[in-house]
Chains A and B, each alone.
Chain A
Amino acid sequence: LAKTTQPISMDSYEGQEVNITCSHNNIATNDYITWYQQFPSQGPRFIIQGYKTKVTNEVASLFIPADRKSSTLSLPRVSLSDTAVYYCPLGAGNTGKLIFGQGTTLQVKP
């Protein structure tokens, strides 16, 4: 499993759509892509997972191009409560291992 690379920080305003990109050039065939949200003094919380193409759930969308070397988390209409650190660790399905990178600190302003 390889570490992923993300922008260190991003700013947005309430009501905007936010797209956070993640680079994983060395992703292996068996790796899957996950995104987690972490608030201060809490453990990370799962947001979404995907292997290829697009995945959507009730809180976010995940876009993965055909080469799988990057992924984009899309948060529609963010609010102040979305201010957090977002991680995109790669995971190995047969072990449950996750390898985290630095994460992106998203600051949502009123």
Chain B
Amino acid sequence: NAGVTQTPKFQVLKTGQSMTLQCAQDMNHEYMSWYRQDPGMGLRLIHYSVGAGITDQGEVPNGYNVSRSTTEDFPLRLLSAAPSQTSVYFCASSYGGTGGRYEQYFGPGTRLTVT
């Protein structure tokens, strides 16, 4: 299993540009989430999904859109990039609530710089 994969690894955008961060998992996990991590800070939840076709907002959703058309993929779209969105973005997946296994598996991250 590849686990959770994220592309690209690095990205530089100009203010106002849009882009999509890709996330895929091959573990058949029901739950997927996006987090951002600013330098020296903890992770903050952007959006999450409990299954295909179901998404919801996290702590810091403004400026980001998500959709989940398949179990495997959970792309994050930046609508109009701003310097405040410069951060490292992590995608994570986990099993559904049954069975008591709550551990999340994180991808390697995408480092985004907005100039």
Interface segment, one of A62-70, A75-83, A99-107: A99-107
Chain B residues contacting A97 (CB-CB under 8 Å) are: 33, 45, 48, 58
Q: Which residue of A lies closest to B56 (CB)?
A: A95
Check B42 against A98 for contact (C-beta < 8 Å): no
Check B109 against A44 for contact (C-beta < 8 Å): no
Chain A residues contacting B30 (CB-CB under 8 Å) are: 96
Question: Taking chain B's interface residues, is the majority helix, strand, or loop, or is none over half, making it mixed?
Answer: strand
Contact with B along A42-60 (1 / 0, CB 8 A): 1111100100000000000
B90-111 interface with A by 8 A CB criterion: 90, 92, 94, 96-97, 100, 102-109
Chain A residues contacting B42 (CB-CB under 8 Å) are: 87, 100-103
B62-97 interface with A by 8 A CB criterion: 90, 92, 94, 96-97
Chain B residues contacting A43 (CB-CB under 8 Å) are: 4, 90, 92, 106-109
Interface size class of B (residues with CB under 8 A): 20 to 34
Q: Which residue of B lies closest to A30 (CB)?
A: B97
Check B97 against A94 for contact (C-beta < 8 Å): yes
Check A102 against B41 for contact (C-beta < 8 Å): yes
Question: Taking chain A's interface residues, is the majority helix, strand, or loop, or is none over half, making it mixed?
Answer: loop
Check A96 against B94 for contact (C-beta < 8 Å): yes
Chain B residues contacting A91 (CB-CB under 8 Å) are: 102, 104
Q: Which residue of B lies closest to A45 (CB)?
A: B106
B64 CB to closest chain A CB (Å) equals 16
Check B103 against A42 for contact (C-beta < 8 Å): no
A34 at the interface (CB under 8 A from B): yes
Name, among A34, A91, A96, A101, the residue most crowded by chain B CB atoms within 10 Å (CB to CB): A96
B67 CB to closest chain A CB (Å) equals 17
A93 at the interface (CB under 8 A from B): yes
Chain A residues contacting B41 (CB-CB under 8 Å) are: 102
* A-B residue pairs, 8 tightest by C-beta: A43-B106, A96-B31, A46-B103, A100-B42, A100-B43, A93-B97, A96-B94, A94-B97
